[in-house]
Amino acid sequence: MLLIDCPVCGQRSEDEFRCAGQAHLVRPGPPDAVTDEAWSAYLYQRTNLKGVSAERWLHEFGCRRWFNILRDTLTHQILHVYPVTQARRPEETGGGE
Amino acid sequence: MTAARPWRRYSGLSLLRAGFERQRGWPPAFIDATPQSSYDVVIVGGGGHGLATAYYLARHHGVRRICVLEKGWIGGGNTGRNTTVIRSNYFFPESAALYDLSLRLYEGLSAELNYNIMFSQRGVWMLGHSRHDEEILRRSANAMLLNGVDAEFYNDAETHRRIRGLHPNPSFPIRCGLLQPRGGVARHDAVAWAYARAASRLGVDIIQNCEVLGFEISDGRVRSVRTSRGDIRAPVVGLAAAGHSSNVAGLAGLSLPLTSYALQAFVSEPVKPVLDTVLITSATGVYLSQSDKGELVIGGGLDLFPSYAQRGSLPNMERSAAGVLELFPQFSRLRFLRQWAGICDVSHDSSPILSATEVEGLYVNCGWGTGGFKAIPAGGWLFSHLLATGRSEARARAFTLERFLTGAMIDEAGAAAIAH
Ligand SMILES: Cc1cc2nc3c(=O)[nH]c(=O)nc-3n(C[C@H](O)[C@H](O)[C@H](O)COP(=O)(O)OP(=O)(O)OC[C@H]3O[C@@H](n4cnc5c(N)ncnc54)[C@H](O)[C@@H]3O)c2cc1C
Ligand SMILES: [Zn+2]
């Protein structure tokens, strides 16, 4: 059971939240220069890390704000909660992007 | 690789005969092998898919030197953790062909492998609770019939008559039911053990406690597999690692269109026979059946965040219990006896991947997500064809990695038992 520290509302139970998967994906562009391979990778390929992973979360049944979480997918420990606008800090990366 | 391995046929007569030696003379069901330095084909993952692949490779394709590498014990992954529902009531023709091949193979499996997998075709019901559910189920029924899969559609009264004990007036009223009579359940461990025993008899080396740690790749071709028990050379390597597919493929520098989630199962304390079929109801997000031991076997939706922890979260447990009580309030005093989770490799279109990769000689069998137990015979059958010939069998052609490039998805997401 996750207790997630929403930056606006504070600690709330996981069933108020929705996880939207891997954070920091960058949409390739401009559109007419994007290869099928790059587009497919952007849409479908995921690092799917076992270990520390950066994720986007939404406080769906709360303030409805988006934010990022650095979370260990094996232990479920949440290491860091940070704004979506913030780049991932290199010292806290646990694996490939 | 030893030539003749000890083997004794399982039958009433052999059981009786072994009784005279106090059941002590049985050879082990399969040989717990030690790795050789090279094989013709290495399969990574000793779940149902890996073991079935090894069996069909030896049986149908005459491949001689095969091993299955399992980091723990065989069947200790999702194959030994699932709720064992077998059905082929999928929507798209490609899926129906795949899953119905599997169901047909299951029908003859106990006899073929000389191992009682306890396949019980007690029927699988999908319940509809609203006009919209009913429309979708009618559409499913029509698709199933067009795909040559058995389907029977029943109205509310008939559904209540056929499924004993359903709440007569639940808050999600039952409007209709779609039954696949040939669907059912089987004993999950037995499926792994049966394939292991049959493969071992044909000379396949089943190697447990052997974790794959890397690959040696040169000139774009796989050369050998690095394991916790040494390097093993092989020109062909097949991955069947379910929830860990991304990690294992990652060791070869590949990235797959998968996300791993925990799926939970719950088992109640045993009671006398109360439910003689399998029920799936998406409105309450739950499905259930009763095991031969009398336990209710209950499943729900995924814990919807990536996870490699085989334990699961509490909110889903509560939802599943609530879903069961919605249909059967009389179960309210039953206690959960056990709970666990397995890690499911979910693809974007909820369809499996049976495919070559960018690395020559390296193939993947993955993406079965929450529904690959029912597909073990077909997965093994089709993957062995791919490993032996380098080409997809007709029924596997739509399931390669190429669909993520061309966009030709087989979007079964809406047709999953419990949508995710
Ligand atoms: C709770 C639950 C309920 C389910 N219910 C159903 C159901 O009712 N019906 C249905 O059809 N499906 C169901 N499924 C899905 C089904 O269990 C799986 O799709 C299927 O078992 C996958 O089989 P597999 O052989 O590919 O994987 P697994 O049985 O998981 O085997 C993969 C093996 O690979 C091994 N492995 C991983 N990494 C390595 C490595 N580096 N080196 C060596 N070995 C490695 C693992 O230890 C594991 O044993 C359910 C799943 C769960 C978790
Ligand atoms: Zn909030």
Among B246, B304, B314, select the one facing A48 at the smallest CB separation. Answer: B246
Q: What are the pLDDT digits (tens) for B161-213? A: 999 999 999 988 999 999 999 999 999 999 999 999 999 999 999 999 999 99
Q: What is the pLDDT of residue B282?
A: 82
- Rounded distance from Cα A2 to ligand 2 centre (Å): 14
Is position B26 within any domain? no
Q: What are the pLDDT digits (tens) for B267-301? A: 999 999 999 999 999 888 899 999 999 999 999 99
Residues B336 and B268 in one domain: yes
> How are beta strands B205-207 and B66-69 bridged, if at all?
parallel
Distance from CA of B242 to the nearest CA of A (A): 13
Residues B234 and B340 in one domain: no
Closest C-alpha residue for ligand 1 atom 18: B372
- Please state the domain extents for chain A: 3-27+37-83
Q: Which residues pair with A22 in a beta bridge?
A: A55
Q: What is the pLDDT of residue B111?
A: 98
Please state the separation of Cα B354 from the chain's center in Å: 14
Q: Is there an atom of ligand 1 within 6 Å of B46 CB? A: yes
Judge if the upstream peptide bond of residue B181 is cis by omega within 30 degrees of 0: no
CATH of domain A3-27+37-83: 3.30.2270.10
Report the SS3 class of residue B158. Answer: helix
- Rounded distance from Cα B214 to ligand 1 centre (Å): 21
Residues B171 and B203 in one domain: no
Q: Is there an atom of ligand 1 within 6 Å of B183 CB? A: no
Token duo for residue B211: 């974790």
Range of the domain at B280: 115-184+260-344
CA distance B412 to B248: 25
pLDDT at A95 over 60: no
pLDDT at A92 over 90: no
Final residue in a domain of this structure, among B292, B320, B344? B344
CATH number (domain holding residue B273): 3.30.9.10
CB atoms A21 and B313 under 8 Å = no
pLDDT at B380 over 80: yes
Is position B7 within any domain? no
CA distance A41 to B361: 22
| Contact status of B306 with chain A (Cβ, < 8 Å) | yes
Q: Can you tell me the mean pLDDT for B376-387?
A: 98
Final residue in a domain of this structure, among B310, B326, B344? B344
Residues B141 and B273 in one domain: yes
Q: Is there an atom of ligand 1 within 6 Å of B374 CB? A: yes
Residues B309 and B380 in one domain: no
CA distance A50 to B71: 16
Q: What is the pLDDT of residue B366?
A: 98
Closest atom, ligand 1, to C-alpha of B49: 25
Task: Residue window 396-415, chain B: list those with CB within 8 Å of chain A.
Answer: 404-406
Q: What are the pLDDT digits (tens) for A24-39? A: 999 999 999 999 999 9
Residues B157 and B244 in one domain: no
Of the candidates B409, B411, B393, the one whose C-alpha atom is nearest the C-alpha of residue B401 is B409
CA dihedral B164, B168, B174, B179 (to 10 degrees): 10
Q: Can you tell me the mean pLDDT for B217-239?
A: 98
Of the candidates B342, A16, A89, the one whose C-alpha atom is nearest the C-alpha of residue A79 is A89
Q: What is the pLDDT of residue B3?
A: 55
Sheet holding B353-356, edge to edge: B205-207, B66-69, B41-44, B236-239, B362-366, B353-356
Residues B359 and B238 in one domain: yes
Closest atom, ligand 1, to C-alpha of B69: 43
Q: What is the pLDDT of residue A91?
A: 53
Residues B150 and B284 in one domain: yes
Tell me the C-alpha to C-alpha distance, in Å, between residue B265 and each of A51, A81, B300, B337: 24, 31, 7, 11
CB atoms B309 and A55 under 8 Å = no
Residues B196 and B332 in one domain: no
Q: Which residue in chain A has the smallest CA separation from B348? A: A44
Closest atom, ligand 1, to C-alpha of B185: 8
SS3 percent helix, strand, coil of chain B, rounded to 5, is 30, 25, 40
**Non-local CB neighbours of B266 within 8 Å, separated by 6+ positions:** B297, B298, B299, B317, B320, B321, B336, B338, B339
Q: Can you tell me the mean pLDDT for B396-410?
A: 97
Is position B162 within any domain? yes
The domain total for chain B is 2
Mean pLDDT of chain A: 91
Is position B303 within any domain? yes
Is position B371 within any domain? yes
| pTM for the structure as a whole | 0.96
Is position B23 within any domain? no
Q: What is the pLDDT of residue A97?
A: 37
Residues B128 and B180 in one domain: yes
Closest C-alpha residue for ligand 1 atom 32: B241
CA distance A6 to B78: 33
Q: Is there an atom of ligand 1 within 6 Å of B188 CB? A: no
CB atoms B258 and A46 under 8 Å = yes
- Interface residues of A toward B, Cβ cutoff 8 Å, are 1-2, 13-15, 18-19, 21, 36-37, 40-41, 43-50, 53, 55, 73-76
Helices B376-389 & B48-60 angle (0-180, nearest 10): 50
| Contact status of B392 with chain A (Cβ, < 8 Å) | no
Q: What is the pLDDT of residue A1?
A: 84
Q: What is the pLDDT of residue B6?
A: 87
pLDDT at B141 over 90: yes
Q: Is there an atom of ligand 1 within 6 Å of B372 CB? A: yes
Q: Is there an atom of ligand 1 within 6 Å of B87 CB? A: no
Residues B339 and B404 in one domain: no
> How are beta strands B296-306 and B336-347 bridged, if at all?
unpaired
CA distance B195 to B408: 33
Residues B216 and B132 in one domain: no
Final residue in a domain of this structure, among B314, B344, B374? B344
Closest C-alpha residue for ligand 1 atom 51: B82
Closest C-alpha residue for ligand 1 atom 3: B82
Is position B25 within any domain? no
Is position B101 within any domain? no
CA distance B286 to B296: 12
Q: Give B313's contacts in chain A (Cβ within 8 Å).
A: 1-2, 14
Q: Can you tell me the mean pLDDT for B5-22?
A: 94
Q: Is there an atom of ligand 1 within 6 Å of B72 CB? A: yes
